[in-house]
Amino acid sequence: MNAMYFLVNTVFDLYLLIVLLRLWLQWARADFYNPFSQFIVKVTQPILTPMRRMIPSIGGFDTATFVLALVVAIVKVYILIAMGMMQASVIGVFIFSIGIVIKEIFKMIFWVLILQAILSWVSQGRSPIEYVMRQLTEPLLAPIRRFIPPMGGLDFSVLVALIALQFLQMLVSDIFVHILG
């Protein structure tokens, strides 16, 4: 049963990550002609095209993509319930699914920051993936750089962002424990 839990958890988390990356790419106005961005679009487009006919965007926010992220999390929870891995009411499923999406957002930001930092050391701007990672992280790191500029050639903005991310993750976790408590 652990092997099935691992498989379900991994497959749904990976697809949720891709859906959330698409949402982040749109928010950051990243280059959609980049090969990495094209992969994200091609994996999500078959499901999002019919959803967009029914769910309009609100302002600049792509609600269809956000709804898809919630649906992926809800389906994951229901499959885990069917497998006997967890129990929850309908409201519990919805709250737990929101928690899954928030946890995946934090995980995605963490790994994109780490990947962008590593790529900046290795590829020095020549990788198309690094270009997209920089477009994704710059809106998060630019405000930090205004307060803590690079010192001695070292940019501490990623470290500060990771510490802030960890703090926010703990804060949200405490809030969810209090709500579900």
Dihedrals phi, psi of 149, to nearest 5 degrees: -70, 160
Q: Is 52 helix (H, G, I), strand (E, B) or coil?
A: helix
Per-residue confidence band for 125, with pLDDT thresholds at 50, 70 and 90: low
> Residues 68-72: what's their mean pLDDT?
95
- Which of 57-61, 94-98, 167-171, 175-179 holds the top average pLDDT? 167-171
pLDDT number for residue 109: 93
Owning domain of residue 10 = 2-180
Residue 176: how many other CB atoms lie within 10 Å: 16
Burial of 56 (0-12, 13-18, 19+ CB in 10 A): exposed
- The CA-based dihedral angle spanning residues 29, 34, 35, 41, taken in that order and rounded to the nearest 10 degrees: 30
pLDDT at 107 over 90: yes
pLDDT digits (tens, 9 = 90+) for 26-63: 888 888 888 888 999 999 999 999 998 999 888 888 89
Dihedrals phi, psi of 156, to nearest 5 degrees: -90, 5
pLDDT number for residue 180: 67
d(CA 70, CA 23): 12
Q: Are 1 and 83 in contact (CB under 8 A)?
A: yes
Cα separations in angstroms, 124 against 35, 36, 47, 56, 151? 18, 17, 36, 39, 19
Number of domains in the chain: 1
Q: Are 34 and 128 in contact (CB under 8 A)?
A: yes
pLDDT number for residue 181: 63
> Residues 108-126: what's their mean pLDDT?
84
The continuous run of DSSP H or E covering 74 comes out as helix 63-82
Q: Are 97 and 77 in contact (CB under 8 A)?
A: yes
| b/e 84-110 (16+ beta carbons within 10 angstroms → b) | eeeebeeeebebbbbbbbbbbbbbbbe
User: Locate tokens 């703990």: which residue?
Assistant: 170
